Structure 1
């Protein structure tokens, strides 16, 4: 229970309030309570209405189990960000580095010296709106996501009653203009890449991410069943190669067209299971920046389309699979998307328009002889 009293109030010889080191000039009302650990606490107010409001909120927190100690949120964001990052050891190295960059570049300059308890929803909204004027919507969304995760962790640690970053209006990212190559364009680009043409064909017909292709080992390829097991990924972070699981942290099996399986045979026969299928000229990991500089970009300038990026071969794979009749669940599995919704959000417009087909079926059903009309 919380008690309010003014018996502790000190006055001078003239009867007026005197300055106290702890409570300040004019402080009159004191709220006393015991926290869940049984510790005696108190907080002073200059107005009785403020003391009563605080006491009521305090009572609710103590009864509902949502009590937050007044000093719990007196941790500066800079210190909290370090604690939070130290607790993210479960993240892939590449993701950790992206979070670290977001914190150092955007979060700490604005919030580093601010106490957790002083962060207001309106201030977060103003900050996000300011970022949106200088950075892309996708970048702003990612930065806000990191900040919101940090504050959500503070809520779980009973330092904040709620997350002030929740409900902030974020900029809408522009829908990407995906480019898709047809079979003839894939063949032309692959031919222009010379001996590395198989890399182009492999990406265009499997939909692997670059890191998954670069990490693919001989033992993961089953030519008889024409399947590739995707279980690893390798990413270059600040010049360092970081190995880990695929983006969704789940293994998946990807089908190989027969022509691609036949082409891979010469690359994997009589090689150890732990050997990389695709390598650099020196035999190491095939890095996307080096591949573009040495091979891919020159081929694109020769045959187009202008500015085409290796990652767009993943979009091409989705397009070719859908055109061949694959349904959304098959495309989801092949690409390693977490949900079919994500696949539809990205490639739903590529699926055949079956609205007329559905309407015709309903028309035939409604026109059947056994349907009675009044």
Structure 2
């Protein structure tokens, strides 16, 4: 659709630029750059907002597209929920799977368009988890669209993504393997695995944990970056891993888990540490998520309070009152965490 005179223009600059798209306006007969962008969608959103703010006008007949809605929703979601880096990357990947919808007016998107994406992903051999992430993104964007009154429907709950067939079911660490970890605690990275096994943290939560959120005096960890809202929680520090955490706190770097130069680990770099430690204890078939399954299994076997177990793992409790941490609640969590031997 042709844009009206004086609405400004978007150009793509040549060369290998980090932000190649530029929004320009006419001033004294010359094109004046206003802002630069990494992609055209962000540039068009800025162009529309610029004209609304400066000239109080919108494009006649303009319909918000799926891409525009996504690029408006994501900054608002990040500001409100502060999701982890891995969660944000998951949103970007899920968005790319919705490529056929990007430039469709959101009000024109129906159930069959969304189900075709799910069916195409399954035919391509993508996992149940990948389909689930795309469905989750569609649900989040639909809820945002409902708030803005672009639609009154959320088709996400109707989408069929098939059955979950895990390629490698998770399995807990045995007591023998946990003992081996303690025997080799001085090997680089082994202490991080023990911290995961005695806190129930997700690997991403541990790698993002800043030292300012570790309270050694009252012996608890506060998770402020997680993949879910329920993941924002407090975890008591178990007596056995307290010396490991104290040692990590004394090292350089702003995050609890840092390399010798004080730099934080991303998941890819951390996997090298993990794999080396797994070779030492002869447990090459374990993943980082097995630590959470181990904590859940051990707490179940020890008869831990169900609400306390959910709080420690960061699972939804289903009861609003159970989501509020009190001093009594922290004592209950500490009582539960001590059941891990």
Q: What is the TM-score normalised by the length of structure 1?
A: 0.57
Aligned to 1:111: 101
Contact 1:329–1:340, Cα closer than 8 Å, also in 2:
no
Distance 1:218 1:123 in 2: 46
Checking the alignment, whether the CA contact within 8 Å between 1:212 and 1:230 is kept in structure 2 is no
Matched, 1:308 2:286: yes
Distance verdict in 2 for CA 1:300–1:111, change over 3 Å: same
| Residue 283 (structure 1) aligns with | 262
- Find the counterpart in structure 2 of residue 189 from structure 1: 181
Could you tell me whether the CA contact under 8 Å between 1:217 and 1:276 is conserved in 2?
A: yes
Per-residue CA deviations over 1:111-150 (Å, capped at 9, x if unaligned) read 2333334323233323322222222122112212323433
Whether the 8 Å contact between 1:72 and 1:159 is mirrored in structure 2 is no
Match of 2:133 in 1: 142
Structure 1 residues 79-105: Cα deviation after superposition (integer angstroms, max 9, x where no partner): 4433434543425262333223322x2
1:267 Cα deviation (Å)? 5.1
Q: Secondary structure at the match of 2:260?
A: coil
Residues 146 and 177 (structure 1 numbering): CA distance in 2 closer, same or farther, change over 3 Å? same
- Give matches, 1:258-273, under 5 Å: 258-265=239-246, 268=249, 271=250
Q: Is the 2:222–2:233 contact (alpha carbons within 8 Å) kept by the matching residues of 1?
A: yes
SS at match of 1:259: coil
Deviation track 1:228-260 (CA, whole Å, cap 9, x = no partner) reads: 222344xxxxxxxxxxx6743765332333333
In the alignment of these two chains, the number of paired residues is 253
Shift of 1:185: 0.7
Instruction: Report if the CA contact (8 A) 2:199-2:312 is conserved.
Output: yes
List aligned pairs for 1:32-43, cutoff 5 A: none
- Asked whether the equivalents of residues 216 and 230 of structure 1 are also in contact (C-alpha less than 8 Å), the reply is no
Aligned equivalents of 1:265 and 1:150: distance in 2?
42
Deviation, structure 1 residue 180: 0.6
Instruction: Measure, in 1, the Cα distance between the counterparts of 2:244 and 2:194.
Output: 10
2:122 counterpart of 1:132: yes
The alpha-carbon deviation at position 329 of structure 1 amounts to 1.4
Pairwise CA RMSD: 3.5
Cα distance in 1 for residues equivalent to 2:152 and 2:264: 48
Higher CA-based Rg: 1
Could you tell me which runs of 5 or more consecutive residues in structure 2 were left unpaired when the two chains were aligned. 1-59, 320-341
- On the 8 A contact 1:188/1:303 being kept in 2, the answer is yes
Contact 1:72 1:160 in 2 (8 A): no
Relative to the length of structure 2, the TM-score reads: 0.61
Aligned twin of 2:158: 167
1:253 aligns with 2:253: no
Q: Which runs of no fewer than 5 residues in structure 1 stay unpaired?
A: 1-70, 234-244, 342-374
